[in-house]
């Protein structure tokens, strides 16, 4: 089993809010307070990729990314399509050591966040928090944040931001459950181990490994147990999309979703859960009008692979192109284990 490598910049999500090195401000205090319960479930949503991610209003969020080429990078925000621009956004850009290197803010009615910063190759995290003016909007209301490299003329450069393959990290939701996000063949273990132990284990690993890059964690394994595992999958993907382990026989839920909601009729997903012997132990498929999968099953201890088949109706330029695949431990089992 390979030793897990978690980028220091990502582990900073759970610790940077408490550092005394940052100058006090109302915005940073909200980041610190809400960061203690930063929910990494639903982290990648809808059309998200390494350059653009969608979030909901009212909470602190993080957009992690890897710079491949030195140069000037532009950070922008915009409201979800079909929703008003009335929001305010605050942002902090941090390097791999969790140091704040730039700050920005913006008003949606005036174009949103517009922040430019020269960056060297490496891992970075953009912390953001946006709030609607007045009451919160309808379901699906949210905003996206994008990052793009620029050339000398201010035009966007393709390939300046890494696609994030091999990325994995562990965070906690508001109930204290440990959540893992994985990519690139990384394997996490589903179990009722405590979130505190998972956080300590992850921090210790990062200390041992130093300033590791996201790509170096490809095909590694998260040694601590987590209560949910999520990954980002292309809707049209076919074949193996996630491998995970179950620490002990447990009831699990395997679900898919896209963000914002409302486009579930534009795709149809089929999933199969296969054990180490190649036997299909559970399966499910989306239905007309709602292409998402919702599987609830009992899984013995062991390693499992999820195979997916996806269909997207219409153009790739309309509706979501990615979905979140999530495997969750039955929460009653988690409570009993504590």
Residue 283: inside a domain = yes
DSSP string, 105-133: EEEGGGTB-EEEEEE-SEEEEEEEEEEES
Residues 282, 329 within the same domain: yes
Residues 174, 152 within the same domain: no
Residues 285, 329 within the same domain: yes
Residue 236: inside a domain = yes
Closest-CA residue to 78 (of 43, 42, 128, 125): 128
| CATH at residue 25 | 2.60.120.380
Query: What pLDDT, on a 0 to 100 scale, did the predictor assign at position 172?
Result: 65
Query: Is the preceding peptide bond at 217 cis, omega within 30 degrees of 0?
Result: no
Residues 148, 172 within the same domain: no
Residue 1: inside a domain = no
Residues 314, 178 within the same domain: yes
Residues 66, 211 within the same domain: no
Rounded mean pLDDT for each run of 10 residues along the chain, 338 residues in total: 35 36 40 36 41 77 81 91 89 88 94 94 87 71 86 82 60 71 82 51 31 35 79 88 94 89 90 95 94 96 95 77 88 56
Residue 162: inside a domain = no
Residues 126, 199 within the same domain: no
* Count of structural domains within the chain: 2
Residue 280: inside a domain = yes
């Amino acid at each position: 089993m390979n030793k897990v490598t978690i980028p220091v910049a990502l582990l900073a999500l759970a610790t940077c809010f408490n550092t005394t090195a940052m100058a006090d401000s109302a915005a940073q205090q909200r980041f610190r307070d809400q960061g203690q319960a930063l929910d990494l479930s639903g982290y990648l949503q809808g059309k998200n990729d390494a350059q653009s991610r969608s979030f909901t209003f009212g909470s602190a969020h993080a957009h992690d990314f890897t710079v491949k080429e030195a140069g000037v990078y532009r950070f922008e925000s915009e409201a979800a399509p079909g929703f008003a621009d009335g929001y305010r956004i605050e942002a902090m850009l941090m390097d791999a050591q969790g140091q704040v290197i730039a700050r920005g803010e913006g008003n949606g009615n005036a174009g949103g966040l517009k922040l430019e910063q020269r960056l060297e190759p490496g891992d970075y995290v953009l912390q953001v928090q946006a709030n609607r003016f007045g009451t919160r909007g309808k379901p699906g209301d949210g905003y996206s944040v994008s990052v793009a490299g620029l050339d000398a003329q201010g035009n966007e450069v393709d390939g300046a931001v890494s696609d994030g393959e091999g990325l994995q990290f562990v965070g906690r939701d508001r109930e204290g459950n440990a959540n893992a996000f994985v990519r690139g063949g990384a394997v996490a273990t589903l179990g009722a181990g405590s979130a505190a132990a998972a956080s300590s284990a992850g921090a210790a690993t990062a200390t041992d490994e130093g300033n590791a890059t996201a790509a170096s964690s490809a095909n590694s394994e998260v040694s601590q147990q987590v209560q949910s595992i999520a990954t980002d999958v292309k809707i049209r993907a076919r074949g193996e999309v996630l491998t995970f382990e179950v620490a002990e026989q447990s009831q699990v839920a395997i679900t898919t979703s896209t963000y914002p909601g409302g486009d579930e009729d534009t795709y149809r997903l089929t999933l199969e859960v296969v054990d180490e012997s190649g036997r299909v132990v559970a399966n499910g498929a989306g239905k007309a009008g709602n292409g998402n999968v919702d599987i609830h099953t009992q899984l013995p201890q062991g390693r499992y692979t999820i195979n997916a088949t996806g269909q997207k109706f219409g153009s790739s330029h309309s509706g979501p192109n990615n979905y979140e695949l999530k495997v969750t431990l039955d929460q009653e089992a988690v409570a009993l284990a504590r």
